[in-house]
Structure 1
Amino acid sequence: MIERVISSTLRFYAELQKLKNTLAILVAVALPLFVAFLSFVIYLSEGHKLINAGTNPWHGYIYHLQKFWAGLLLPLTIILEASLINSIEHSNNMWKQIYSLPVSKCAVYFYKLLAFIFLNILTAVSLTFFIQLFGFLLIFIRPEFGFDSPSLIKESLLLSLKMMLASSAIIGFQFLLSFNFRSFVIPTVIGFCITVGTGIASSWKHIELLPYSYPSLSTNSPDAQIGNIYIIIALLSLVLTSAAGFYVSSKKEIS
């Protein structure tokens, strides 16, 4: 049992080490930084119009930033990261070497997917960190805005994690695409088209039928509760796409 745990840990660690040779970690940190900085600049110049007197400015600051993130940039980040995480094996044609190792083909898929999920957790934590960082900068630069109020760190982190969980369907589907297509372009374009299509259909009364809308829909109730129907459906979708990935991986022939 102990040997199995150690072996699993080492395999997962090996997948994380591969990320150092890609831009995936940079994307996971840089895009949340960009969004948080953009919001900071907007509040710096227009904060007096955005903050209601007598209220905690952190509420609007956190919610509107993360709502924008969930509706557009979170799906695009996942799409880009999914293509990057498999880029080493595809670009260097390393699949033959990987499948020759004494590891089951399903395990190969599982540990890469696990590393991808970790990457998305890193993205959620990075978003929360940069939101708080730039919010605290506003305390010193524009003290009149009232950002010295309670900073709602817990609520911000929970909302980030809620959006990540609601994006599980996107995580599973985009990873499956990038795992099977050697081309970086194909899964990226497919994901981009679905994301744009979902955005165009955002006012559709049956928008809940489109899983790429779940991150945004999950933020409609900006409370501290993690669970909602969109997260449940998204997690079930992740299980189904993972099962499909295990099957495809087990049948994969490398010449």
Structure 2
Amino acid sequence: MKVQKERRFALLMAARNSDYVKKVYGGYFNVFVEALAGEGEKWDLFRVVDGEFPHMDDLHNYEGFVISGSPHDANGDEYWILELCYLLKTLFTMQKKVLGICFGHQVLCRALGGKVGKAYSGWDIGIRKVRFTEDFSVNWSFDLAEIPPTLSIIECHQDEVYEVPVGAQVLAYSDKTEVEMFTFGDNILGIQGHPEYTKDILDNLIDRLVWNNSIEKGFAEEAKLKLKKAEADRKYWERICKSFLKGRWIAQSQTYF
């Protein structure tokens, strides 16, 4: 009987655990694994924010990589951010699957030649409807059930992608952010929102943003009120992410440099 090889994935953690997420979920790693992992898979954690990176000789052992969100600036020149950009360029050259979430979406864009900066319209916090472009619905195929033309997703960011890398495609947008999702070939996917977040994680994060004076109390209260009235389409987003990472996402037409 042939033994199936264990599938390995890596989470590149660009943020440190909050006390709340650590207490309730055991850390962000568990949040991602719960949302994205499947049977017969091994997920490894690399705390890139603390300078912990996979060894270059081990990259070929992984089928896919996920870059988490972060409070840090994707345009920053901290050593770990520059090292992360180098790693992402290497993974792109190796044609490894790479999924970037929020900060991960932004730093992935930067590493591959796009432009990132502060959002022109300020913070986006809450649940926002995202609309897919024709490139998503026409040029890509999935082994998934039909995906609705709009999906709601949890957002928490003050930076955004200005321009995707040359050769990349914008797959989704919203009334606040022009690049909610982009792809490059069939091995790069960036999502500005948080498919992995639950409403309670965002609720706690809003409190922390008020506490450290990142947002005003009135803005936070309004965001929390809207959060109570809306729901994110988490299951659809999880299916999209899993389909991409597990190799069932195939570009019908591709543009390269």
Superposed pair shares fold, TM > 0.5 = no
Larger Rg: 1
**TM score, norm. by length of structure 2:** 0.28
Higher helix share: 1
Higher strand share: 2
**TM score, norm. by length of structure 1:** 0.29
